[in-house]
Structure 1
Amino acid sequence: MTTPQDLFLVSLDVPGEHPVEQGDLSLALAGAELVDLLGARALTLDGERIVPGPALTTGERMLDEAGAALERREPYETVEDWLWRRGRGLAAAYRDVLERAGQLTGRRRHWLSRRSGDSTPADTPARQHAADRWWSREPVLAGLAAALGIESERPAEAPADEAVVTVLAAVGDAVNELEAVRTRRRIENAAFDNIWRAP
């Protein structure tokens, strides 16, 4: 299993302070892909810019798609730009992959499907693997989950790799930026409603 797949399963299995928003999860999944591609040496970071390495085949379709989507012309893409570009619709794509692999069962959360209801990970080795990473407080998975508001009472250590720390920080910043946009829209919509309600 890949880090994005583990993160998706943890987002369903571990309760957070609030339900995980689709957009937030999509950004975090894009960050998780970068971390796995860093680990596979498919890319390096030059500051915040993603420098692609040789094209690799990992055997994981979504990860291979991510590697193929890397910008290969200078000045290269920043981590932030990658999160917003690659993250578009990524949560739904991972949902579909995991469903086809039999990793999700039952009813789904409101944004995970055309139907309403809750989704739960199937009781599979993949789910156990994700849970083991989560409960061992593996730094990358814990850092990505924390950006989504999923935290444990037992803190995780910071990742040792500076490039991974850069990716995790960018994910946190992007999720905060998206929440600020949501808040601004709620305020604007409330103000608009008040104008129409005014006598």
Structure 2
Amino acid sequence: MLIDIFHDTVCPWCRIGKKHLFDALAQRQEQEVHIRWHPFLLDNTVPAEGYEFRSFMQNRKGIKAEEIQQIFDNAQRAGEAAGVKLDFDKIRLAVNTKLSHQLIALAPANVKNDVVEAIYQAYFEDGLNIGNFDVIVAIGTAYQMDASELKSQLNDRAVSDAVIAESTFARLNGINSVPFFVINDKVKVNGSHSVEVFLETLNRAALLDIPAKI
């Protein structure tokens, strides 16, 4: 089974959706699964140093402080129900996620899923700036990526351009929100949904017996 996941690393619902999907996949252990991660940059105009988080989110959504807190509370409760931590009190900066997606693209296949989760944890649990070069290098080296080589690759304009191009391609092909999942190039799921919904979708995709193109 082939699963394409479009996400951004500062999207709380993407982390929740990932957890729900992986919990559903755990109930289908008999089937080999290949996952491809795709960047969807929610705001590539954010500078490397980031913006103050709460004021940025209020301005972005055009709402008051108490309303943005309600949004955070709802997401945090959904995260707790899913089994993931979303500590919005720890998050100080709205950050640019391009560099984090470059790391995901560069990560070896056998640790890529773990690197994705480590990035989510760094932002939503530790409140780190995942748009910071040193933070991203530290995450990569924790998964046995060579520091010197990784720094060179992250500074490669071609890697950066590829992330932007892929994010733009997703939007041009009708994806306007994340998380967004495509199973076996055919069955689409838009949103975080429940484990049960993902399990039903995975079962339906398997029954369709669509060849996966890797």
Which one has a larger percent strand, Structure 1 or Structure 2?
2
Question: What TM-score does the superposition give when structure 2 sets the normalisation length?
Answer: 0.26
- Greater RCO structure (CA 8 Å; 6+ sep): 2
Which one has a larger percent helix, Structure 1 or Structure 2?
1
Question: What TM-score does the superposition give when structure 1 sets the normalisation length?
Answer: 0.28
